[in-house]
Chain A
Amino acid sequence: MESSRSVPVPSAASRLSRRTVIRRALCLGGGMALGSGVLAACTPASPAAPTAAPAKPTDAPKPAAAATTPPKPAAAEQAPAAKPAATTAAAVPARRGGTLTVGLPADALTFDPFSLSFQHFPLVQNMYDTLIRYDHDLKPLPGLAESWTIAPDGQSVTLQLRKGVKFQSGRELDADAVVKNFEKAADKDRGFNMLPAVANVDGVTALDGSTARIAFKKVSPEITDVLQAMSIVDPSGMDDLKTRAAGSGPFRFVEWAPGDRIVLERNADYWNAPAPYVDRLIYKVFGDSDAMVAALQSGIIDICTSVPPKDVARLGGDFTIVRGYPGALTYELRINPTNPPFDRKEVRQAMQYAIDRQGVVDSVLFGVSQPTVQPFSQASAAHDPSIAARYPFDLNTARELLGGASGLKAEAIFNSQFPELQAIAQVLKADLAKIGFELDLVPLDATQATRRLLAGEFQITPSFSGNTQKYPTRIALNSIYRTANNPVWGDNPPKAYVDALNDANGTIDPARQKEAFAKLNAALLDESWVVNVAYRQSAFGLAKYVKGFDFTVDDMIVLENVSLDR
């Protein structure tokens, strides 16, 4: 069974002619990017890559149901299963053999699963295993840990590791490997994205060969998130991760031709047999998504890992379009509250009213999304449907909040690597112009945009954040939500926000968590230094003969059950 879903065709009639113009401009922009290869033939740069690693989904996403998912268990928890996670494709007899060619949006540059950028999302899950996995409802499933027991005080977890798992080097997985991986994650030079994720880990002890105990400095409501994020690297290969992988995943590393391809082969010893099904996996590096789409259409690749929203409906007839996890990332406007005119809270709140979220979804994202005023995805425990109407599109209220004064001016920088960010800025600019607010748009390449973002050298910028679907406090891993070294607040973000984060982080009591999440949402909406616009939903394009494709809640691609039914 494939986890593909039907592709809704965007509404034929645009509500406003401006949107038609933007839509066409976006299409043209994509085409020009293909042509010039200068702006979009881009590299990597990785906006807000979630720190999390893989999970093993078992079904198509169910955001509506997940919206009511209660917070994580409060007390001791015993993992329910001690067998490999069920998969969607496992029930279907899959054809063996063949070579699967997958488009990669940029070169990997590193095979360290702790150093994640967008280009690693199609790769990591297929070379490495994590301690546990999540299904699409965020239900924890066994991974390299067959079972896990969370202590009643929520300050430690004991893992029972799967036996007989071998790394590519032939070394067997043991508790010592888990200890070494946590040491790497906590190392300032080697921890990368995992460093903040393990900040609350006090120590990891190998109790015996296959049992490890992780102790936390204080009560941790994020235990399963940490386990799900933790890919386990072969300790003997940790020094070579810049140029080769060292995992125990379904595919083994064969070669990397920088800038061109990465070749993996089937891991015959994989613990989750009979997977994987294809013999060889080739990742072909592309400079931009338009070129990747063209390669899918001309049969050069079997899977396009990044179908731009403008192409989703067009490709729907000839290819299988699989929608990614709704809300793995959230589009937003980042506002610098220390930079006039946005130092006034009312001006920031005016942006909440002035951004036409539904317009962005319709004309910029071609219907491949949903509008939102909150960062949290619908699966998050902090998602609150009741606040959806808090900031409707209302230019009159926006004008009132601006004090009725026209002549206000600001500059919006954006990363030109992502055409949709420019289009979002254009929607805002057009609407702000109607209420006398002039917005200048300044495109920057990825590196320059990141530099200014980190330095707080901006007034307003469209961007996106990750880690919006797991334990809610994990949004603080995005620089704009940090409580220290925040690019715009420095070490002094709004007190109500910091208090809410601390409350949520300091309890495993569901009632107190719920209360803290409500405070968190209230603080975010009130201070409005991040104006959330819409969820980002990835779209993957598959040749019709590709079966068993799946993805994690982080939109990482899972290929272990893929077979080629040519």
Chain B
Amino acid sequence: MGKYIVLRLVQLLPVLLLASVAVWLMIYLIPGDPAIALLGPDVTPEQLARARERMGLDQPLPVQYALWLGRVVQGDLGVSYVGSVPVRTMLAQRIPVTLQLTVAALLVALAIAAPLGILAAVRPRSWAGRLVTVYNTLAMAIPTFWLGILLVLLFGLQLKWLPTSGFVPFWEDPGRAVRLLILPALTLGAYVSAVLARFTRAALLETISQDYVRTARAKGLRERSVIGVHALRNALIPVVTVVGLQFGAFMGGTVITEAIFDYPGLGRMLLQAILQRDYTVIQATMLFVVFTFVLINLLTDLLYAYLDPRIRYA
């Protein structure tokens, strides 16, 4: 197992290196640069040239990349071209914010998906089961931005029950943090709840047709024990995997939700950085997202290898 982990970690390095090149080069394909974004439409050519020189943007691309990579491997992610703040500080401020939203969204998704998925599997042809199918279809079909707008209009502006934007760390003011999280977490969690409900339903349907479940019923166990203790525990393994991967996706993929709710997380920072061509921030954020995704994939692989020895000997 130890050898397998080392092998996978070594394989991780070229993936990250390639990702860094791709991330780095893609940014330069977008016309415009941070000097223009920062100085605006009335800047003189001389001022622009001086700003580019100050930012190091006048150097050849390979030189810029080498300098950047050299700093990154030493843990220096650079300073924001636009805001002049160390990118590491910016990431450190934004990661916990997005993490809070991610956890809340996954909790919302699980809270919806688990009962719906079980209901749909246990009573597939009932009206309740059909309602679950309708919910799944709707939740997967409605675009996230549209749902976000509807929630803002209904709960924020019409009923005035919940705030439409803002962030408070959970440990500072749990009550207010929850109020601020409800709408973005619902927006983000709705789609995932449908995905998880379908996974749960499919996995549970397959599990309850297994012999050991039939045996449990034959032993006279109550249906709640058969489903809750024997079937669900096994059925949830693929669901947990999906949750893990979704966790990675949320850490870098909440741009739209964060924009709608003006949530000061990684997604909004990334969006602003792209619009301002703030190269150092884009590069560092994308690298973090890629790293998180690859790491979670790695952890998933390791978990599988741990559960199924055939994988690590293959």
Q: Tell me the A residues contacting B by CB distance below 8 Å.
A: 31, 34-38, 41-49, 106-107, 109-110, 117, 188-189, 192-193, 195-196, 242-243, 257-260, 284-288, 291, 294-295, 297-300, 445-448, 450-454, 463, 477-479, 482, 485
9 closest A-B pairs by beta carbon, nearest first, are A37-B259, A447-B32, A242-B84, A35-B145, A41-B259, A260-B264, A46-B40, A451-B32, A447-B37
C-alpha gap A258/B85 in the complex (Å): 8
Q: A295-B262, A450-B36, A451-B31 are in contact. Are A260 and B42 (CB under 8 A)?
A: no
Q: How far is the CB of A249 from chain B (nearest CB, A)?
A: 22
Q: Known: A258-B93, A259-B94, A297-B157. Is A37-B255 also a contact (CB below 8 A)?
A: yes
| Known contacts A35-B146, A295-B165; is-contact A287 B36 (Cβ 8 Å) | no
In the complex, what distance in Å separates the CA atom of A298 from the CA atom of B164?
7
Closest B-chain residue to A34, C-beta based? Answer: B149
Within 8 Å of chain A (Cβ to Cβ): is B243? no
The residue in chain B whose Cβ has the minimal distance to the Cβ of A39 is B275
Question: For the complex, is B45 an interface residue (Cβ under 8 Å from A)?
Answer: yes
A48 to B168, CA, bound (A): 35
**21 contacts across the A-B interface (CB closer than 8 A):** A41-B259, A45-B275, A46-B41, A47-B41, A109-B84, A196-B44, A242-B84, A258-B83, A291-B259, A295-B262, A298-B157, A298-B164, A300-B163, A445-B32, A447-B36, A447-B37, A448-B31, A451-B33, A454-B43, A479-B43, A485-B46
Task: Write out the residue numbers on chain A whose beta carbons fall within 8 Å of the beta carbon of B54.
Answer: 189
Task: Kindly state whether residue B38 has any CB partner on chain A within 8 Å.
Answer: yes
CB distance from A45 to the nearest CB of B (A): 6
Residues of B within 8 A of A (CB): 30-33, 36-48, 50, 54, 80, 82-85, 90, 93-94, 145-146, 148-149, 152, 156-157, 160, 163-167, 255-256, 258-262, 264, 268-269, 271-272, 275-277
Across the interface, do A300 and B166 meet the contact criterion of CB distance under 8 Å? yes
Contacts of A452 in B (CB 8 A): 31
Secondary structure at the A interface, as helix, strand, loop or mixed, is loop
Interface Cβ pair total, 8 Å cutoff? 175
| Cβ-defined partner of A453 (8 Å) among B41, B44, B48, B163 | B41
- Chain A nearest CB: distance from B95 CB in Å? 13
Q: A294 contacts which of B82, B165, B271 (Cβ < 8 Å)?
A: B165
Residue pair B272, A43 in contact (C-beta under 8 Å)? yes
In the bound assembly, the distance between CA atoms of A453 and B45 in angstroms comes to 12
Tell me whether B40 and A117 are in contact (CB under 8 A). yes
Which residues from chain A contact B264 at a C-beta distance below 8 Å?
257, 259-260, 285
Q: How far is the CA of A275 from the CA of B82 in the complex (A)?
A: 33
Known: A243-B85, A287-B268. Is A257-B93 also a contact (CB below 8 A)?
yes
Residue ID in chain B nearest A417 by CB atoms: B275
B42 interface neighbour in A109, A297, A477, Cβ under 8 Å: A477
Query: Is chain B's interface secondary structure helix, strand, loop, or mixed overall?
Result: helix
Point out the residues of chain B lying under 8 angstroms from A445, CB to CB: 32, 275
Known: A49-B40, A445-B275, A454-B45. 5 other contacts (CB 8 A): A109-B83, A195-B47, A284-B262, A298-B157, A450-B37
Q: Which of B43, B160, B275 contacts A43 (CB 8 A)?
A: B275
Instruction: Return chain B residues, CB-CB under 8 Å to A295.
Output: 164-166, 262
Cβ of B163 and Cβ of A110 under 8 Å apart?
Answer: no
In the complex, what residues of B have CB within 8 A of residue A243's CB? 84-85
Pick from B44, B46, B47, B165 the residue with the most CB of A within 10 Å. B165
* A50 and chain B: residue at smallest CB distance: B42
Which of B32, B38, B82, B145 is the one whose CB lies under 8 Å from A37? B145
User: Are A291 and B255 in touch, CB under 8 angstroms?
Assistant: no
Does A259 lie within 8 Å of B47, measured CB to CB?
Answer: no
B contact residues around A298 at 8 Å (CB): 156-157, 160, 163-165
> Which of A48, A189, A294, A485 has most B Cβ within 10 Å?
A294
Given known contacts A35-B260, A300-B166, is B37 in contact with A45 (CB within 8 Å)? yes
B262 vs chain A, min Cβ distance (A): 5
Report the Cα distance A243→B45, complex, angstroms. Answer: 26
Q: Chain A residues with Cβ under 8 A from B39's Cβ?
A: 192
A463 proximity list for chain B (CB < 8 A): 41
Residues of B close to A117: CB separation below 8 A: 40
List B contacts of A477 (CB < 8 A): 42
A447 touches B50 (CB 8 A): no
Q: Across the two chains, which residue of chain A brings its CB closest to B38?
A: A109
Smallest beta-carbon distance A451→chain B, Å:
4
A29 → B minimal CB distance (Å): 13
Supposing A451-B31, A451-B32 touch, asked if A291 and B260 sit within 8 A by C-beta, the answer is: yes
Task: A242 to B82: give the CA distance in the assembly, Å.
Answer: 9
Closest CB in chain A relative to B298 CB, distance in Å: 30
Q: Is there an interface contact between B260 and A188, defined as CB atoms closer than 8 Å?
A: no
Bound: A450/B260 CA distance, A: 25
Bound: A44/B39 CA distance, A? 10
Asked whether, in the complex, the Cβ of B262 is within 8 Å of the Cβ of A48, the reply is no
Quote the shortest CB–CB distance from B154 to chain A (angstroms).
12
Query: In whole angstroms, how far apart are the Cα atoms of A260 and B33 in the complex?
Result: 23
Which of B31, B36, B256, B262 is in CB contact (< 8 Å) with A291?
A: B262
| Distance of A482 Cα from B275 Cα, bound (Å) | 27
In the complex, A109→B273 CA distance in Å? 12
B269 touches A47 (CB 8 A): no
Q: A477 — nearest CB in chain B belongs to which residue?
A: B42
| Most B Cβ at <10 Å: residue of A37, A243, A452 | A37
Q: Which chain B residue lies CB-closest to A189?
A: B50
| B268, A38: Cβ atoms closer than 8 Å | no
Residue of B nearest to A33 (CB): B259
Q: How far is the CA of A41 from the CA of B277 in the complex (A)?
A: 14
Residues of A within 8 Å of B36, CB to CB, are: 447, 450-451, 454
B165 and A300 contact, CB distance less than 8 A: yes
List of B residues within 8 angstroms of A196 by Cβ: 44
Complex contacts, A447 vs chain B, CB 8 Å: 31-33, 36-37, 275-277
Residue of A nearest to B147 (CB): A35
Q: How far is the CA of A446 from the CA of B40 in the complex (A)?
A: 9
Q: Is there an interface contact between A448 and B32, defined as CB atoms closer than 8 Å? A: yes
- How many angstroms from the CA of A286 to the CA of B90 in the assembled complex? 17
Smallest beta-carbon distance B8→chain A, Å: 35
By beta carbon, the residue of chain A nearest B37 is A447
Question: Are B275 and A485 within 8 A (Cβ)?
Answer: no
The distance in angstroms between the C-alpha atoms of A192 and B152, with both chains bound, is 40
Question: A452 to B44, alpha carbons, bound, how many Å?
Answer: 14
- Are B84 and A110 in contact, CB atoms less than 8 angstroms apart? yes
Q: Hey, which chain A residues are within 8 Å of B157, CB to CB?
A: 294, 297-298
Known: A35-B149, A43-B275, A294-B157. A478 touches B165 (CB 8 A): no
What is the chain B residue whose CB lies nearest that of A256? B85
The residue of chain B having its C-beta at the shortest distance from the C-beta of A465 within the complex is: B42
CA–CA, A223 and B38, complex, Å: 28
A288: which B residues are within 8 A, CB to CB? 259
Are A31 and B149 closer than 8 Å at their CB atoms? yes
CB of A411, distance to nearest CB on chain B (Å): 15
